[in-house]
């Protein structure tokens, strides 16, 4: 899968709640592989975590690829947003 195919994909958590969307990737240059996905977190999840939505933009987090499974239209985080 090409990196441009990942960007914009929706992410859902283990409880099938919308978690956010992919806005970038992190690459380990020595091994030439993707190690992290940069996720723009959905506003409802930000509130669930007890944070305030940034004034400009959205909260972004890095998620290791080991906890993400890739589906046809969406990607799944193997844990729920509260874990």
Number of structural domains (the chain) is: 1
Average pLDDT across the chain, whole number: 86
DSSP state of 52: P
Is there a domain that residue 36 lies in?
yes
Is there a domain that residue 43 lies in?
yes
Report pLDDT for 23. 92
pLDDT top residue among 74 and 37: 37
Domain CATH code at residue 13: 2.30.30.240
User: Which one, of 32, 4, 35, 7, lies nearest residue 22 by Cα?
Assistant: 7
Q: What would the pLDDT profile of 15-54 be if each residue is shown by its tens digit?
A: 888 899 999 988 899 988 889 999 999 988 888 888 888 8
pTM, rounded to two decimals:
0.81
What average pLDDT score do residues 61-67 get? 90
Is there a domain that residue 29 lies in?
yes
Is there a domain that residue 56 lies in?
yes
> CA torsion angle for 15, 54, 28, 79 (degrees, to 10)?
-10
Q: Which domain holds residue 14?
A: 3-77
């Amino acid at each position: 899968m090409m990196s441009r195919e990942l960007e914009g994909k929706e992410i859902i958590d283990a409880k099938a709640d919308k978690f956010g969307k992919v806005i970038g990737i992190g690459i380990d240059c020595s091994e030439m592989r993707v190690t992290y996905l940069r996720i723009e977190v959905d506003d409802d999840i930000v509130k669930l975590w007890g944070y305030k939505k940034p004034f400009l933009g959205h909260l972004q987090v890095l998620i290791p690829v080991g906890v993400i499974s890739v589906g046809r239209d969406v990607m799944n985080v193997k844990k729920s947003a509260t874990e």
